[in-house]
Amino acid sequence: MSQGATLAAARPALRRRAGSRTNLTSGSSLGLGIAVTWFSLLVLIPLAALVATAAGGGWDEYIKTLTNEQTLAALKLTVGQSFVVTAINVVIGTTIAWVLVRDQFFGKRILDVIIDIPFALPTIVAGLVLLTLYGKGSPLGLEWANTELSVPLALAFVTLPFVVRTVQPVLEELDADVEEAAASLGAGRVTIFRRLILPSLAPAIAAGAALSFARAIAEYGSLVLLSGNLPFHTEVVSVRVLSFIEGGNTAAAASVATVMLAVALIVIVALDLVQGWVARRG
């Protein structure tokens, strides 16, 4: 019985498919309803509450919170160090991707797995891990914990995989014939890299850089133990938000958090534009 009923129900549904804006069945509508409700309760309404709370005090209060000397220092430090670390990742990440794709040596597979460790490692563990080598009693004599260097160190650790993992697949797909043709026509290695390889990798590098920048701005866990959270020196913006929350000043916390949220949204839009650019270039 049920089969006949389904077939009968399916036929008009198939016919409808051509013109209508939706092809949802009753079951999938229910699924969509539940999923969207959950997504709203979990993500959309809380983020809306964040923006509403930040706006609640009015524009003057918002600007006053953001231009507070200590908050401004935290914002400057976070944005500045995120740019520095992203620049490091662009150079080193591309190099690592190149080594992983074009070079052959013993242990390459292990290097490939180690690249993913910062993705998987809990951030608080990442901070502790870095303390063993760059903290008090460092085996290298580099006691960077609680100094200005602790911030880029932690950020470099957690953002390491982004550029590598976006550039690696593009480099694998790159057509070696074109490079050989260029070489046989007399192009030098530097010319081939600059004129052929780099332009093909540019969108992937840009995407990796954007992801790495967003992650660096957002980072909290790995810095808690490592940086010492010294105001004006090593206090990043996420730590600033947390100290506002712990002090009960959720309005100020929300104001600073909207800046972080805005950066996250800008990066998502930028990534979308980069992907559109790649799609158009074919």
Residues 8 to 67 in contact with another protein, rule: CB under 8 A: 10, 21-25, 27-28, 31-32, 34-36, 38-39, 42-47, 49-50, 53
Dist CA 279 CA 57 (whole Å): 43
Mark residues 62-91: x for contact with another protein by CB under 8 A, - for none.
------------------------------
Under 8 Å between Cβ of 264 and 214: yes
Nearer to another protein, 67 or 95 (CB): 95
CB nearer another protein, residue 72 or residue 117: 117
Q: Restricting to residues 113-142, name those near another protein by CB under 8 A.
A: 113-125, 128-130, 132-134, 139
71, 77, 86, 157: residue in contact with another protein (rule CB under 8 A)? 157
Task: Pick from 55, 66, 73, 261 the residue near another protein by CB under 8 A.
Answer: 261
Q: Say how far apart CA 78 and CA 81 lie, in whole Å.
A: 5
Tokens 């996420």, residue?
238
Closest CA to 93 of 168, 148, 37: 168
Rule CB under 8 A: say whether 277 interacts with another protein.
no
Work out whether 167 is an interface residue with another protein (CB under 8 A).
no
Residues sharing a CB contact under 8 Å with residue 145, sequence separation 6 or more, in sequence order: 130, 131, 134, 135, 136, 226, 227, 228
Out of 75, 167, 206, 267, which residue is the one contacting another protein (CB under 8 A)? Answer: 267
Distance, CA of 83 to chain centre:
13
Q: Quote the CA–CA distance of 129 and 123 in Å, as a whole number.
A: 10
Site string for another protein, 197-226 (x = CB under 8 A): --------------x--xx-xxxxx--xx-
Q: Tokens 């502790």: give the residue.
A: 128
Question: Is residue 265 a contact residue for another protein (CB under 8 A)?
Answer: yes
Taking residues 228 to 257 in sequence order and writing x for each that binds another protein by CB under 8 A, - otherwise, the string is ----------x--xx--x----x--xx--x
| E runs forming strands in 39-160 | none
CA distances from 113 to 108, 109, 122, 157, 169 (A): 9, 6, 16, 15, 15
- 24 vs 73, which CB is nearer to another protein? 24
Closest CA to 235 of 25, 51, 70: 70
